[in-house]
Structure 1
Amino acid sequence: MTSHDPKLSRRAFGTAVGAGAAAAAVGISAGSAEAAEAAPAERPFQAVAGRHARRPNILFILGDDLGWADLSSYGSPHIKTPNLDRLGRQGVRFTDAYSGSATCSPTRFSLYTGRFPGRTKGGLAEPIADKSAGLEPTHPTLASLLRDAGYATALIGKWHCGYLPDYSPTKSGWDEFFGNFGGALEYYSKLGLGGEYDLYEGDVREGDAEYKDLRYYTRILTERASEYVGREHEKPWLLNLNFTTPHWPWIADGDEEASAEIVRRIKAGDGRALWHADGGSVEKYKEMVEDLDRSVGQVLAALRKSGQERDTLVFFASDNGGERFSYNWPLSGNKASLQEGGIRVPTLLRWPARIDGGQVSDLPVFTPDWTATLLELAGARPNAAYPLDGTSLAGHLLRGEEIEAGRDLFWRVRGERALRRGDWKYYRGKSGKDQLFNLAEDQREQADRAAFEPELLKELREAWERTDKGLLPYPA
């Protein structure tokens, strides 16, 4: 492979050189833990040709409001994430991967549909906060398309794409659902933003059954996911495992007193209690992220024990950038912003049967790309009436095919716009000023090059506006 023009694209996925090329021959044998620990040091991505495998199981894990540098492998100086770091060493760690939007539900829309959130009415909510919008059951989804292609499908954890009775994972292609419908819940009581009990098995609240599970939510999700991946499956499977960690409230496992105080406030009618604006700390956040790491490790251990590790594609990312206590350095901005800190997210991919470990990629990619990629890897056909906005990376991951150098990554939220093409990013924030940044030289978005590259700025702005014209307008 040859590198792209740096004015159009950051270096292509990668060309192994020197010691890296020699290391490419090492790879991972049968996906074993021992081989993973012995994986070579990170090197540029290089596809492995001529290696065959069956259609993969897919374990797609999302953290919630996890910042780009909150993993030790991404530079956190104080948070230790050995299990996620190991996952990255076993496959590919992406340095320039983005969420589909800057908040929870729009990104989930972009993952489930493979399209910009603004293609659908429900995706215009940033994020969904009431029962007026959701993912229409008639819209094809990653799950429904995979199910049509012979996959078993399940979603465990946070849905946040609409509420009953009109919207639900089981109405949109998932065979099984266990989790919460809303954008946040208190980790012990399972009370949601409206004060309702928000833990469901299918479309029935567990609170309507004989018991409620009032254990720490991350423990419950980990247990359920471990059980699912450990089953004897007759079909290949998709599991969307959507943790709420480390989303507020800032409650770690064992914090029953803090939980009880938030519950008291919720029951007293405090509609902002779950936001926990008067709680949390860097240390508490560290505790929650490290708990997420242990939980992912437990699920991966169950997968290994089941004998399915080699043939399972495991993907990990965050749904958007970090929040109050997140570590995003050197990026600017946080969740809800289209600055890098609001949309660039840690992203890891492992598939021992087809992809060698110890690799790093700086190709710009975003959430809709993964939908297109997974559909192709699974042999599922997209619905032509709902064209995808992402680009499948399957050919590149497996055969080293080039990705179009000048392709655009597009984002839109109320009051902000952004478009990335190669190294260049066009950004307009709430100030209304058009800005241009070269991310290869300035990840922090502090050196505005608009005055020096007026033609490029015009070109990228017009590209953004052409895409925007094809989307639904925001309601007044």
Structure 2
Amino acid sequence: MKLFLLATLALTLSLSCGAADKPNIIFILADDFGWGDPHCYGHPYAQTPNLDKLAADGTRFTKFHATGVTCCPARTGLMTGKFPATFQKYPASFGFGTRVTITELLKKNGYATGHFGKWHIGTVLEPGTYGIDVIGSDQGTSGKHRQSDDGRGRDAPMYDQAISFIEKHKGEPFYVNIWDHISHHPIHPTQAVLDAFGPLELDESKFTPVMQEKFALCKKLGGDPAAHLRAFLADVKSMDAEIGRLLQKLDELGLRKNTLVVFSSDQGAAPLRDTEGADAKPRKKNKGPAGSDIDEMRLNAMGYAGPNFRGGKHTDLEGGVCVPFIARWPAKVPAGRVDDQSVISGADWLPSLCSITGISISAADFDGEDSSKALLGGVHVRTKPLFWKTSSERSDPTLLLENWKLHGSHRRNGEVTLYDLATDPGEKVNLAEKQPDVLKRLTEQLATWTATLPKTYEHGDDKGD
């Protein structure tokens, strides 16, 4: 009897310790939010005190890469650990098919799962989709001009829902996606949100020449860069305020210590128009909320790639795919740390969380790799290349391996460019002719990968966002 009681006690302790070791996980994903848009990443005018505090209490990563250059592909990598171009059917229209998701794996491992905000990963939103218990009611592609009527920002309702979910499931491990509409078009903050940000006197010299070109384009298209930047940053500040409210709730519920909170973006900052460049043609005038002009609102797309990068959304230059990534987990993720060595990817999210939560998976089934060592204070050295390609048969692929970035071309006589990101993060000096051995090696790896991809793609009604 004594031995039986001891064995029973040991089993009980083992089970309770296992449950206690499962962290709560909250993943906050901004939309079209550039590497340089938070204050803690160097923006001269951003008001993001809660993101800054999250970074001070955790680790800020400088080499995190999204898996796509538009909204659905980036979310596909995060949810499935697979590169988006490997899906023959576009997930925004058809879902993930037979691919397993991180929410399904966590649900089977005892997690309550919730998703609030933007979706864009299929047409089915019923409870249980991808193993998600609760899918918030605020869906849609870009927010559809939604505005809060209580002086808060447009994303406040999804944070209300997420906080209610957390309060309900505070006694068990939970996983929550909070996928913001901010800072996706249409950016149209209310007067209350603008007032909360305050005035802005713009000194363009505080920004890089690349951003100064964006200001110049804004002026050419009839806009005032200071006013449009203020609208953008006011929208961002309203998101930061909701993040602060969420973090405060974790403290009130006693959940801070055992909750991994991560903030990132789906891709880099959006251009002022659907195509970049000073020759962008004006759009047909349409009226937005409160009588505002849609063209005027598009000039509010004042996201910033930061001091080193060029490019943005729709491009696989670093300004389009290298995005903010901040992680906080007290006593697990080092506080006040900046990791500028680990090259990590949205495709790593699934295998990394599986490692942290003790879920067994086959690494060969995923394009990402376990980079949890970086989250927990070490340095992650990649063993797999990162690849980008849109879901179009003839789109140009890109590869990142070690410090080398290769932009391939499917066009006859199309330019192939090779950059050394260690010395040229802005991808300005093409080394294709000067590094023939590197070019050959990477070209072969890129060709091997593209040969495995679908020969045709099916998009359905969703062409991308």
TM-score interval for Structure 1 and Structure 2 normalised by the shorter chain: 0.7 to 0.9
Report the CA distance between 1:231 and its aligned residue: 3.4
Question: In the alignment, what sits opposite 1:112?
Answer: 79
Change (3 A) 1:152 1:310: same
Question: In the alignment, what sits opposite 2:322?
Answer: 344
Question: In the alignment, what sits opposite 1:367?
Answer: 346
Return the match for 2:160 from 223, 231, 234: 223
Report the CA distance between 1:115 and its aligned residue: 0.8
For residues 140-155 of structure 1, what are the structure 2 equivalents within 5 Å? 140-155=100-115
State the one-letter code of the partner of 2:312. N
Question: TM-score if structure 1 supplies the norm length?
Answer: 0.72
Return the match for 1:315 from 230, 243, 262: 262
State the one-letter code of the partner of 1:147. K
Change (3 A) 1:468 1:313: same
Give the structure with higher Rg (CA).
2
Deviations 1:333-382 (A, max 9, x none): 11011111111101101111312201111211110111110121112233
Question: TM-score if structure 2 supplies the norm length?
Answer: 0.74
State the one-letter code of the partner of 2:440. K
Question: In the alignment, what sits opposite 1:328?
Answer: 305
Question: In the alignment, what sits opposite 1:16?
Answer: none
SS at match of 1:163: coil
Question: In the alignment, what sits opposite 2:140?
Answer: 182
Change (3 A) 1:232 1:182: closer
- 1:353 and 2:331 are equivalent in the alignment: yes
Change (3 A) 1:117 1:169: farther
Return the match for 1:66 from 3, 12, 33: 33
Task: Choose 352-361 or 337-346, whichever is displaced more.
Answer: 352-361
Cα RMSD after superposing both structures:
2.9
Question: In the alignment, what sits opposite 2:177?
Answer: 240
- 1:56 and 2:23 are equivalent in the alignment: yes
For residues 56-455 of structure 1, what are the structure 2 equivalents within 5 Å? 56-123=23-90, 128=92, 133-136=93-96, 138-164=98-124, 170-188=128-146, 217-254=154-191, 281-324=228-271, 325-329=302-306, 330-362=308-340, 363-382=342-361, 387-398=365-376, 400=378, 403-404=380-381, 406-413=383-390, 414=392, 415-428=395-408, 432-455=414-437
Which has more helix, going by share of residues?
A: 2
SS at match of 1:345: strand
Report the CA distance between 1:226 and its aligned residue: 2.2
SS at match of 2:168: coil
Deviations 1:303-346 (A, max 9, x none): 11110111001111000111131111331111011111111101
SS at match of 2:160: helix
SS at match of 1:172: helix
Report the CA distance between 1:163 and its aligned residue: 1.6
Say if 2:70 and 2:266, in contact at 8 Å, map to a contact too.
Answer: yes
State how far apart, in whole Å, the 2-side matches of 1:367 and 1:238 are: 17
Report the CA distance between 1:237 and its aligned residue: 0.7
Say if 1:98 and 1:364, in contact at 8 Å, map to a contact too.
Answer: yes
State how far apart, in whole Å, the 2-side matches of 1:118 and 1:95 are: 25
State how far apart, in whole Å, the 1-side matches of 2:41 and 2:180 are: 20
Query: What are the ranges of 5 or more consecutive residues in structure 1 without an aligned counterpart?
Result: 1-51, 191-211, 257-276
Say if 2:116 and 2:159, in contact at 8 Å, map to a contact too.
Answer: no
Say if 2:267 and 2:313, in contact at 8 Å, map to a contact too.
Answer: yes
Report the CA distance between 1:169 and its aligned residue: 6.4
Report the CA distance between 1:437 and its aligned residue: 0.7
State the one-letter code of the partner of 2:241. R
State how far apart, in whole Å, the 2-side matches of 1:219 and 1:399 are: 32
SS at match of 1:466: helix
Change (3 A) 1:213 1:161: farther
Say if 1:155 and 1:169, in contact at 8 Å, map to a contact too.
Answer: no
State how far apart, in whole Å, the 1-side matches of 2:437 and 2:362 are: 37
State how far apart, in whole Å, the 1-side matches of 2:423 and 2:127 are: 42
State how far apart, in whole Å, the 1-side matches of 2:222 and 2:70 are: 21
Say if 2:354 and 2:361, in contact at 8 Å, map to a contact too.
Answer: yes
Report the CA distance between 1:405 and its aligned residue: 5.0
State how far apart, in whole Å, the 2-side matches of 1:290 and 1:306 are: 25
State how far apart, in whole Å, the 2-side matches of 1:185 and 1:278 are: 25
Deviations 1:210-251 (A, max 9, x none): xx9998641111222222233353321100011111111112
State the one-letter code of the partner of 1:163. T
Say if 1:68 and 1:74, in contact at 8 Å, map to a contact too.
Answer: yes
State the one-letter code of the partner of 1:159. W
State the number of aligned residues. Answer: 374
State the one-letter code of the partner of 1:240. N
SS at match of 2:389: strand
SS at match of 1:239: strand
